[in-house]
Every structure is written in structure tokens, then in C-alpha cells.
Amino acid sequence: MAGALLLIDMQRDFLQRPDLRPRVDRLVRRAGQLLDACRAAGVPVIHVRTTIHRDDDQRMTHWRLAGRWMCVAGTPGHEPPDALREREGERVIHKHGYSAAVDGELGRVLRDVECDTLIIAGVHAHACVRAAAMDALGAGLRVVIADDAVGGYDAPHAAITRRFLAERSVAYRSTDAIAARLTAGESPAGGDGPYVHRDPRDARRVLFEVADADGAAVDAVVGGCVEAAATWRQTPMSTRGDLLLALADRIERDGTTLTRLMVEQIAKPAKHASAEVALGAAFLRESARHATDVIDESVRPGVSVRHAPLGVVAAITPWNNPVAVPLGKIGPALLWGNAVVWKPAPAARLIAERIGSLMADCGVPARLVGVLHGGAATAQRLAAHVNVDAVTLTGSIEAGHALGQVAAGRHVPYQGELGGNNAAIVWSDADLAAAARSIASAAFGFAGQRCTANRRVIVDEAVADIVLDHLVDATRELTWGDPADAATDVGPVISTRKRDALLEDIADARARGNRVITPHTDTVIAAPCGHGLYVPPTIVCCDAADDRIVCDESFGPILVVQRARDFDHAMTLLNGVEHGLAASLYSVSAQRRDLFRNGARVGILRIGQPTTGADPSAPFGGWKASGVGPPEHGAFDRLFFTRPQAVYDDRNDSPGESPQSR
């Protein structure tokens, strides 16, 4: 490979945007790691910077119209962070618009180094990074984009850009993957390797690998579901419900095996894994309970409403709840007459295969539930398939943007459950010790790897010190260690990358002056670690509403404590993040409970209870960035898995059809 690294617009004026994602410290760190790897491998480095001169105004039109001066030569905002400064011999190319290739200098430099592969990092994903990739493609180069070293502030646009470029053979790789290929003397533009899943309890051990499904595999599975759906939609609702009840029984009988697989594959503590099996069976039974719901309803003589199946539903599910979440989607999809193509998270592959075998044991018709393995590329291919009629996802905001854009472009129904940065308010009239125990368990159980985990605590400042002491004590009481131990509350996190990101978050919070508390002693911490991916349960005290540790969903064992001046301030803090999944209140005051009910901008309210947990009959769905589309579960499943259809019949006495007549 004759490659080159292009660092685009890594300048302070661009990096200081508060809505930049990934956040600036992580973006600069990843770009620095990539820069070091390229230098070590002898890959030429080219720095591209937007440079504006006040005496020769070449600002872009929208900057001039807005009166905006940025990246002015000689100002601090024009400069990169110290970690990304050029070294002697590295070229710096200046531009004033989106493209660095306008005047031809970049092309000349790339020809000088005989470049055939361009590695790109920088900002912004939907603008200058995209322009550079398109210029390189136009010049006949192969392009690799370091996906964790590229930032932006327009996530939907970035998701569209990524799909657009990937369809044109632009490769997206992590900085670690690029560095590993350079170290091995391989081209970073080579074909995608499989996802490698390591044992969270001992990261030296590879459990399995998962390759993305190609287009032919997606065609085959979706095609089978299309055929199965045609027959299934004619099957009586009572028969569908009976099948779900049989599957619920079979899931429960297999509980020991499913629990063991969750412990072994994703390091879910046994007590949490066992509870998840029970919840998955409960979801199926709740779906079956609606087999007697009316499908066709009479509005008035001659006018009725049908609730028709969608057809083939793509269900894309996460690794952290690999039993309950899939069953909570597949069960109602089948009940309401649909076929399902299920794409589990790669880390949950073996668990999904076990559930698939249990479905076959119960008589689920062949090809009615098809399974596709792989990562984001498989999910994109599935969601984009012409014969997929709807997409339901549980995953990250980033995945939600990516798949939501695909579904929107195809005009098919989309449902996204996209995580939560959930807060509990603790007021002075509550049982403070009991509240702390409840919160600590909800924050740190399963190492905080639950979408409903309690990530923030907002405390009446009059009792803040008392509550903090209780939280430290309650956290210390949690058992931290081997997930196979029935007593364990907190096990390892899912991957090396996640562990490292969490430790970076903690170090970053400490570096900004926040108080960081690790309640377990060093002796206790050292015991379970070994080669496991453990992050100690950590409490961060941070009152700043806009601090990164407050605003970002950690999805790990980090609990942020904030002090509130009064209850209005507490509600402002609660609602001050982009997520809106769950919130809880610990107070006996009727007035505060009413204020909480009426003011919390979340989909799930819990009073005197932790943020975690779900009732199979209640709606489960977030507000704001936490959710798109109808909520899941219970009677609410019909809102997504069917479409209403008005029927005008010239037989004016035509009654609505009951499920028993089907």
C-alpha cells in the first residue's frame, strides 16, 4: 500500500462546538492514536486546515451572510490541539471551503507520495470529510475513514453520508483496526474481517467470530419470510397465541441453559440473567393474552376498520438483553400476523441460535422467523431490503439515526428504543438510606449495562452529603466479581473498547476537577480483575449541567450525583439531557409527586422505585432522543405491528369481523 493520512479541520474553532460528537477529548485522543500509528508505519501525513484571512475575505457564502469569522490565520481558533500539530516534513494544505482539492495542491501532494489509499480523519463527517472522500474517489483512490476519529454535529446527515460513501466502496474502520493493519504491513482498505467476540471474564479468550451477512444471504432469508408470511397471516389468532404460550413454557424450561449462556457469553450476572429469562417468557404470555383482541371493528353500518399485518418485520436487537428484548419484539410481531427477520447483536449470536432452536421445538413454522448474523452492515442491508415492511430496533442513538434514515427513505414504519440517561430525584423527606440502596443497585447492577440503569442522581442540596454517604455505603455492599457467582451484582463490561472508553470517561471527569469516588477498596477491586474487563463502580460528583459526564450516556458503572437548589432546579436538571427514557422520584410529598408526573419529559415514570425494570403490560418507550415510533409491549404492540385500514362496504349491515371468525 502507498497510503497517506489526511487530517481535516482538526482546529480549535471547529472542535469547541458543544454538540460535536464524539466529544472533543475522545475525538482528539483517537485522532492522535491514528496519527502516531501512521507515523510509526511511515505513512505520509497531510494536515488540511480551513484558513481565512481578514484582508482577503474568501469565507464561504453562509459564513459571510451570518457575519461569522472562524479559523482566521494567526488566531488560536485556527490552530490544532497540541497532540495533532504537524511535525517537520509533514505537509499543511490550506483551504477556505469544503474541499481541499479546489486549487489542485492536494492532488499534487498525493501524486508526489504516490498515494493509492487515503486514510481520513477529522471534522465534519457530513461536509468536509465527505468532500475529501468524494474528491479521492474521483481521483481513483481507495478511501478509508477512521469512524471513531471523525466528528460532526449533524448525526442524521452523518448517517446518510456514511451509507452513501459505504455504497461507493469507502471503508469505515476503527482507529485500532487501522493501526493493527498498518503494524502488520496490510492495507487498511482490505476487506472487512469478522467481528471477534472475546470473553468479558478473560479477554485473552476468543469465544467466536461473526461475519456480516452478504446481500445473497439477506435475500434468501427475507425471501423465505415473505413466503411464510403469506400463510401465517391467514392463521387464526387463537393458534398464534397458543404457539406463543408454548414458546413461553419452552423458554422457561430452558432457563438454566439460557442463563448459563448469558453468563458465559456476555458476563451477565446469573441473578440478572435468570430474571431476564422470566421476563422474556412473560412478554410472550402478555402477547398471547391479546389473541382475543378484536381485529376488525365496526365504526358504523358499512364502515369498518381492519388492523392488517405489516408483512415482514426486521427486528434488530442488542447484546445486553439477548432473550427478553428479542422475545418482546418477535412475540407480538407473530401474534399480529407478521414474519420476522431477526438480526441479533454479534455478541449474542450463540444465545440467538439457542432461542431459534427452541422456536423450532415449539413448532414455529419454518422460515417464519429468519435469523441473520452480523453487525451494522448486516442491519443496513436488512433495513434497506425491498421486501422488509418495517424495522424495529433496540440500540444506540447512533444506530437509531442510521437505521431510521434507511426506513424513512423507504417509507416503512420504524420503531427505535435508543437508550437512556436516566435520573432519580431524591428529596429530603424520603427514606434516604433506602433510596440510596435502590439507586445503587439500579446504577451498578450488570455493570450499568441496561438502558434503564440509573445514571444520574439529583439530590436536595440540604441532604446531599447524607445521601452521598448512603450511596457510597450501598455501593460498597454490592458484590463485584464473577458473574457465575449467584451473589454477584456487578460483573465485567462487554468489551475491551468499552472498558477503555469508560476508564477514559472517569479520568476525564477527574481531570476537570470533579470529585470521583470508588467505594470498593483496592483490595476488593484487585481480586476479580485478572484479565477480565472490569470497571469499578464509580460515583462522580458534578453539579455542572453541561458537563460531559452528565450529558452523555455512559452505559457502564458510572453514577453522577448532582445537587439541586430547589425542586424546580431538580426538574430542570432531570430534563436537561437529550435522552428521555426513565426517571424516578423518592419523595412522599404529594405536591412534588404531581410536579414530577406533570414535568418529567420521559416515557417511564417511577415513584419510590428505581429506574430499572419493565411490566409486560405497560408501554415501554422513550421520549426525545430515547425513542421513535410507538412504545413496545402489551396492548401498545398493535400500534406498530399492524396498520389500520378503513373498509367501506356496500353491505350496510356488514358486522366487524371477530378474531374467532378468522
Active site residue ranges: 417, 451
> How many residues in the chain?
662
**How far, in Å, CA of 116 to CA of 529, rounded?**
44
Contact 77, 13 (CB under 8 A): yes
Place of cell 425491498: 386
**How far, in Å, CA of 142 to CA of 115, rounded?**
9
Task: Enumerate the H helices of 365-495 as residue ranges.
Answer: 376-384, 397-410, 432-444, 464-477
Neighbours of 40 (CB within 10 A): 11
Coil/strand/helix, residue 418: coil
Task: Enumerate the H helices of 53-212 as residue ranges.
Answer: 61-66, 105-112, 128-138, 155-166, 175-183
Read off the amino acid at residue 442: A
**DSSP conformation class of 356:** H
C-alpha cell, 120: 481520513
State how beta strands 422-426 and 414-417 pair. Answer: unpaired
Q: Which of 97, 99, 94, 104 has its CA nearest to residue 46?
A: 94
Place of cell 378503513: 646
Neighbours of 387 (CB within 10 A): 14
Contact 328, 185 (CB under 8 A): no
**How far, in Å, CA of 209 to CA of 202, rounded?**
16
Cα 410 off chain centre by: 22
Q: Which of 64, 40, 51 has its CA nearest to residue 9?
A: 51
275: CB partners within 8 A, 6+ apart: none
